[in-house]
Structure formats: structure tokens, C-alpha cells
Chains A and B, each alone.
Chain A
Amino acid sequence: ETGVTQSPTHLIKTRGQQVTLRCSSQSGHNTVSWYQQALGQGPQFIFQYYREEENGRGNFPPRFSGLQFPNYSSELNVNALELDDSALYLCASGVGETQYFGPGTRLLVL
């Protein structure tokens, strides 16, 4: 196991709502990244946090935001949900280049 956990495992929301997804990393993993994986596609980089500061962002709008906490946990927040936000959301953490992924949260937006 990677030591990276995510909650919840599944979630159903309606369009326009807001959602918060959570990730817990291993102690010492000072980098956490979030990815969106649409069905049948590879993960797409959303953003990365390093020592509680955003450290790079992919091609995602500002309604995708995040937080990283000192206890190696982090959050992904998505406002004003759209149907196309339905996907598997993955967090990955590590020290250095090797990133270990959690099992993901499956989000369905109706």
C-alpha cells in the first residue's frame, strides 16, 4: 500500500453544488498533487502543494482550489460543479520525484 488515503470513496452531487475531497499522506511527504482522471483517460494534473503553498497549476479554472495542512493532509475544493467535473480525483504525495497515488474519489455530478 502507498500510505495515501482519500475520502470519500464515492460522491454524488448536483450541478452548481460545491464539493470538498480529502487526502491524507504519509508523514514526511511534503508535496501533494491532485489529478483529475476522466473515464478512459490518463490523469490530468490540477495543482500541486508544497509546504502548504500552491506550487504549480494545470489547465483548470479557479473554481478548483486546494489546501495543504501541516499534518500531511490536504483538500481539493470544487465550486459551481459542472457535469464535466464527473471523474476520479486522485491525490499523489511523495518526497522528491516519486509520487504515490491514493485510491481516488469517484465524483458523479448530475
Chain B
Amino acid sequence: GESVGLHLPTLSVQEGDNSIINCAYSNSASDYFIWYKQESGKGPQFIIDIRSNMDKRQGQRVTVLLNKTVKHLSLQIAATQPGDSAVYFCAENIHDYKLSFGAGTTVTVRA
């Protein structure tokens, strides 16, 4: 079946370093992707999105890269801070804004 998945379930990063979280998707027809951050006990928080006609988009301290050739998506966080510790999900718009999520990557920031 078609799905969105993340390469690694956990990522440990030193405070101040850059983080890279990866995601692979299998639906080549997907045209919209979103990264969400979910802290313990909270709902997913929108971070950044990208459409399939783009290969890069930047936000505040975050950059999303899209490689449609290999169906790969990544989220880069610059100068990772303790507040960045959370579970990160990539999501794919499968049809009419219905989202398909991967299992998530847990990011832990070491002081």
C-alpha cells in the first residue's frame, strides 16, 4: 500500500547542532507535504509545508527539502534547542486535504 514513513524512529542531537529528519513517501501523485511537531500531551503543531512544484522551502530555523525523484522529504532544524525536543511527523496530502502520517521521529536534544 501507499504510505509515508520516516527513516529513523529516534534522533539524538547536541544542543546548537543542526538536525536532519528524513521521510520517505511512496505515493508519487502526492502534491503537498507537511511537517508537524508533537510535544508530549499536545496535538501536532504545524511547522512547515511544501508543494510538489518546489524542492526547497525555508522558515524560521527550519528548511524542508523535497526530492521527487527518490520520493524523499527532509526537515532540517538549524541550531537545535532544547525546546525542539519532540516527535516530528511528515504528512502527505492524499486527497482533498486528508493527511497520511508516518510513524514519527523522536528528537532528543542533549545539553
A interface residues with partner B (beta carbon < 8 Å): 2, 4, 6, 31, 33, 35, 40-45, 48, 50, 55-56, 58, 90, 92, 94, 96-104
The answer to whether B99 touches A90, judged by C-beta atoms less than 8 angstroms apart, is no
Are B96 and A101 interface neighbours, CB within 8 A?
Answer: no
Knowing that A33-B97, A42-B101, A56-B98 touch, tell me 7 more A-B residue pairs with CB under 8 angstroms.
Answer: A56-B96, A90-B43, A92-B44, A96-B97, A98-B46, A100-B46, A103-B41
Interface size on B, residues (CB 8 A): 24
B43 and A99 form a contact (CB under 8 A): no
Question: B99: which A residues are within 8 A, CB to CB?
Answer: 33, 35, 43, 45, 92, 99
Interface of chain B: mostly helix, strand, loop or mixed: strand
Q: How far is the CA of A40 from the CA of B89 in the complex (A)?
A: 12
Q: Which residues of B contact A104 (CB under 8 A)?
A: 42-43
Interface residues of B (CB under 8 A from A): 32, 34, 36, 41-46, 49, 89, 91, 93-104
Q: Which residues of A contact B104 (CB under 8 A)?
A: 41-42
Distance of A58 Cα from B44 Cα, bound (Å): 19
